[in-house]
Chains A and B, each alone.
Chain A
């Protein structure tokens, strides 16, 4: 390897993460500095090669040097969020992986799958669930870390800025409850659609017409609700912005369900369960479920606004 290229490569590597505007100036200066240091070592009797190597080794990882120039963060999740992230991740992994494994095992056993395939699918499902939990949880915190503004405000710190003990609706337990509720709901819907709750009949309670578009949208909304719960907890309170987001999510969820002409439940389900008068039971239950959904959505939206208002005082 030609000796000159080592410095060139080092400077190039360091400049990769430096903003375009400063790059030329910084590169020229760094190159001159390295050359100066190398010359000094050569004058002291080292070979050009050894001198260059020693200088670059002393300068260390070019990415780290560049971070020193630009003040860039070199961590994914810093001390502010680390403990929250770790605590949540541990609990989620401990609850989600066994639940998913148990559910898949039960489903496979009910479907009379051979032992080997049960073990295989349980293993794959648990692995996938663990990966998803770890990835999404971490992603939420990484975004928070990169968008947190508290450290960038120039205002002086006063005791008023002390974090308030997590307020109503923003405690760790609240966050956990929301996340687990979303997970359980998603699990129930998936179970219903794939296996059904009526032993011996593969018929779902949820209208199969809702699959896949409406269900996938609902799952996405549920994931966003879970992420919102994390944000609310980390902020320590419901903010107006969080409450608005929550209301929008609730509205979109209701709208998505309504898009299927208001049909939520599977008529075939009632034909199996209540052979006497399936049509009217279907009708009545649909109305009840709609009241329940609309009520829950409205209450959830209102509740968040109330908590946000209380937290502002």
Chain B
């Protein structure tokens, strides 16, 4: 494994949980797979399609997202929306993320 790939792997691991949080926040407005993929990329959470699609299913199964088929347009799409439980989860994750950010900042101040 080259140094670059190792760095990539570490970055990926660091970001994994943040994609969940971003999805829960963005899907307060209903969204579908590809649209969300684009939105995530635009907002600084680049995600692979083959990571995002199973993730949405998982969150739905766990009861944090609701889904509904929208057949108004020519191409029917499955829309996801963060429900109450999802918002509570997102709040908890945000709190924790901020705590981690503070802790990391404190680490670098010590040098």
Closest to B53 in A: A33
Q: What 0/1 readout, one digit per residue, does chain A (16-42) give for beta carbons within 8 Å of chain B? A: 000000000110111011011100100
- Please encode chain B, from 76 to 106, with 1 for each CB lying within 8 Å of some chain A CB and 0 for all others: 1110000000000000000000000000000
Majority DSSP secondary structure for residues of A touching B = helix
A-B contact count (CB 8 A): 52
Give which listed residue, B32, B38, B50, contacts A65 with CB less than 8 A. B50
When each residue 54-93 of chain A gets 1 if its CB lies under 8 Å from chain B and 0 otherwise, what string results? 0100111000110011000000000000000000000000
- Chain B: interface secondary structure? helix
Q: Say yes or no: A58-B75 contact (C-beta < 8 A), given A29-B33, A32-B33, A33-B33.
A: no
For chain A, the count of residues having a C-beta within 8 Å of the partner chain is 19
Decide yes or no: A58 and B49 within 8 Å by CB, A32-B76, A36-B33, A36-B75 being known contacts.
yes
Cβ-based interface call for B57 (8 A): yes
C-alpha gap A171/B35 in the complex (Å)? 56
Q: Give chain A residues whose Cβ lies under 8 Å from the Cβ of B44.
A: none
Complex CA gap A29/B35 in Å reads 13
Q: How far is the CA of A68 from the CA of B47 in the complex (A)?
A: 15
Contact of B48 with A by CB under 8 A: yes
Query: Do A60 and B50 touch (CB < 8 A)?
Result: yes
B49 touches A37 (CB 8 A): yes
- Minimum CB–CB distance for A8 against chain B, Å: 15
B binding-site residues for A, Cβ under 8 Å? 32-35, 37-38, 48-51, 53-54, 57, 69, 75-78
Given A28-B76, A33-B33, A60-B50, 18 more A-B residue pairs with CB atoms under 8 Å apart are A25-B78, A26-B57, A28-B78, A29-B33, A29-B77, A30-B53, A32-B33, A32-B34, A32-B76, A33-B49, A35-B75, A36-B34, A58-B49, A64-B50, A65-B50, A68-B50, A68-B51, A69-B57
